């Protein structure tokens, strides 16, 4: 397959840009830089990978982890300050969820649950792809996803009509 | 593998609610990213072209080096000496044996007492294939007529190419014996006798 063109890159950016940034934010505050580097790496590939989205998530994951490792203490403090001022979600319309509260609930999860939820829910990756990405099995990824949703729901105390064991505030 | 459909109903609803949130990507500068991507792809293309040129130059260098080595270590070509001696006597004998009419040049040579005609012609040096490619074939080889040794062949070639372009025959002449002194006249004999006796 030929190298990726500008139209495809723009389409990828429009469809997955936000989710990739959110995915990178699970490790580093410089998420935009990491995503940009991953996209540039994709452009420089001689052959487009078979699973472009999966490849991008892997590149973003690697870049974000190494960016988090390379941040020194002072920079990390600055980034944390900047991170607090950055919202993870756009203000939500037509939903009962508060975007800021959802972001806080997501931040409270362990990292392996967070990355699974982001990759699955906003990235649209299958459990098989997530398993490849995180180096686990598909069933483990699915279990993590379910546990993460339950924990977030518990934290947000979302009232769902189907819930039998609903506990009021 | 547990699939999404296996989620409890309350989690399914919560999942749908959560999925309605849109990740923030305002800080992702799309214009700058696309510009950088264009530059990166151009660098990749120029790198490919540069590699192609480098590969071609390398291949040509290897070929040139191989030719140089082959030129330096090649053995000296064997010297090929072609000599044909046809004396007048042999020619007559050959005529008798083969019945082929004798070359008029040989007949003339016999008549004039010049031995060994047309005895030796310098053989045109055959150029190597490489020299023929780079410098072209010599003129007498480039002629459509082949230079032959017999008289009709020499005649045709000379008429076609001109006498000046043809090979110069090397004729070996035998040293001529000095002529005996001619007899003196009576007057000269008388003068000599008067000078010595009186």
The 10s digit of each residue's pLDDT in A75-108 is: 655 655 555 567 888 776 777 778 888 888 899 9
Contact (CB, 8 A) for B22 and A24: no
Q: Shortest Cα distance from A145 to chain B (angstroms)?
A: 9
Query: What is the arithmetic mean of pLDDT over B161-169?
Result: 74
Q: Domain residue spans in chain B?
A: 88-165
The 10s digit of each residue's pLDDT in A100-130 is: 888 888 999 999 999 999 999 899 999 999 9
- Selecting from A39, A40, A139 the residue whose C-beta is nearest the C-beta of B2 gives A139
Q: Determine, for residues A97 and B13 on separate chains, whether the beta-carbon distance falls below 8 Å.
A: no
Q: Is the pTM of this model over 0.90?
A: no
Listed range (A13-17, A75-79, B12-16, B109-113) with the worst mean pLDDT: A75-79
Q: Shortest Cα distance from B5 to chain A (angstroms)?
A: 11
Query: What is the arithmetic mean of pLDDT over A9-25?
Result: 89
- Selecting from B10, B20, B41 the residue whose C-beta is nearest the C-beta of A163 gives B10
DSSP string, A50-113: SSHHHHHHHHHHHHHHHHHHH--HHHHHHHHHHHHHS-SBPPPSS-SS-HHHHHHHHHTS-HHH
Q: Shortest Cα distance from A74 to chain B (angstroms)?
A: 22
Q: Which residue ranges form the domains of chain A, and what is each CATH number?
A: 1-86 (no CATH), 89-169 (1.10.10.10)
Interchain CB contacts (distance < 8 Å): A and B: 127
Q: Determine, for residues B44 and A3 on separate chains, whether the beta-carbon distance falls below 8 Å.
A: yes
Coil, strand or helix at B61: helix
Q: Shortest Cα distance from A149 to chain B (angstroms)?
A: 7
Whether a cis peptide bond, with omega within 30° of 0, leads into A95 is: no
> What backbone torsions phi and psi does residue A105 show, to the nearest 5 degrees?
-65, -40
List chain A residues with CB under 8 Å of B6: 142
Q: Determine, for residues A94 and B20 on separate chains, whether the beta-carbon distance falls below 8 Å.
A: yes
Coil, strand or helix at A137: coil
Query: Distances in Å between the alpha carbon of B72 and those of A138, B55, B59, B62?
Result: 68, 26, 20, 15
- Selecting from B11, B29, B40 the residue whose C-beta is nearest the C-beta of A149 gives B11
H-state helical runs in chain B: 9-19, 30-73, 88-98, 104-112, 129-135, 139-142, 151-161, 186-197
Q: Shortest Cα distance from B52 to chain A (angstroms)?
A: 15
Picking from A106, A146, A151, A161 by the largest number of B CB atoms within 10 A of its own CB, the best residue to mutate is A146
Structure tokens at B21: 């949130």
Listed range (A72-76, A78-82, A161-165) with the worst mean pLDDT: A161-165
Percent of all residues in chain B with a pLDDT value above 70, rounded to a whole number: 61
Residue whose entry in the numeric block shows the structure tokens 């490792």: A69
List chain A residues with CB under 8 Å of B36: 36, 40
């Amino acid at each position: 397959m030929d190298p990726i063109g500008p139209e495809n890159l723009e389409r990828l950016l429009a469809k997955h840009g936000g989710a990739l940034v959110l995915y990178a934010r699970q490790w580093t505050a410089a998420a935009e830089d990491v995503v940009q580097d991953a996209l540039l790496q994709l452009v420089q590939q001689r052959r487009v990978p078979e699973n472009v989205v999966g490849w991008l998530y892997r590149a973003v994951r690697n870049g974000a982890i190494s960016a988090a490792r390379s941040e020194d203490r002072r920079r990390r403090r600055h980034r944390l300050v900047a991170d607090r001022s950055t919202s993870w979600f756009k203000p939500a319309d037509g939903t009962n969820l508060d975007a800021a509260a959802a972001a806080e609930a997501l931040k409270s999860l362990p990292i392996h649950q967070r990355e699974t939820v982001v990759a699955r829910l906003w990235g649209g990756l299958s459990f098989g792809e997530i398993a490849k990405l995180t180096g686990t099995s598909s069933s483990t990824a699915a279990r993590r996803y379910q546990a993460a949703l339950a924990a977030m729901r518990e934290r947000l105390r979302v009232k769902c009509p189907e819930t039998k064991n609903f506990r009021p505030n | 593998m547990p699939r999404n459909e296996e989620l409890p109903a309350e989690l399914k609803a919560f999942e749908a609610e959560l999925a309605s949130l849109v990740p923030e990507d305002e800080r992702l500068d799309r214009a700058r990213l696309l510009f950088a991507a264009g530059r990166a792809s151009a660098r990749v293309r120029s790198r490919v072209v540069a590699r192609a040129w480098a590969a071609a130059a390398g291949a040509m260098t290897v070929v040139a080096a191989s030719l140089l080595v082959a030129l330096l270590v090649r053995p000296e070509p064997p010297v090929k000496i072609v000599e044909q001696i046809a004396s007048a006597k042999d020619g007559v004998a050959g005529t008798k044996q083969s019945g082929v009419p004798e070359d008029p040049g040989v007949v003339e040579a016999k008549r004039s007492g010049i031995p060994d005609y047309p005895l030796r012609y310098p053989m045109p040096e055959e150029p190597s294939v490489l020299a023929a490619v780079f410098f072209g074939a010599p003129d007498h080889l480039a002629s459509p007529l082949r230079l032959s040794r017999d008289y009709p062949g020499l005649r045709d070639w000379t008429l076609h190419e001109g006498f000046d372009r043809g090979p110069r025959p090397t004729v070996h002449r035998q040293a001529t014996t000095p002529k005996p002194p001619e007899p003196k006249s009576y007057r000269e004999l008388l003068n000599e006798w008067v000078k010595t006796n009186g």
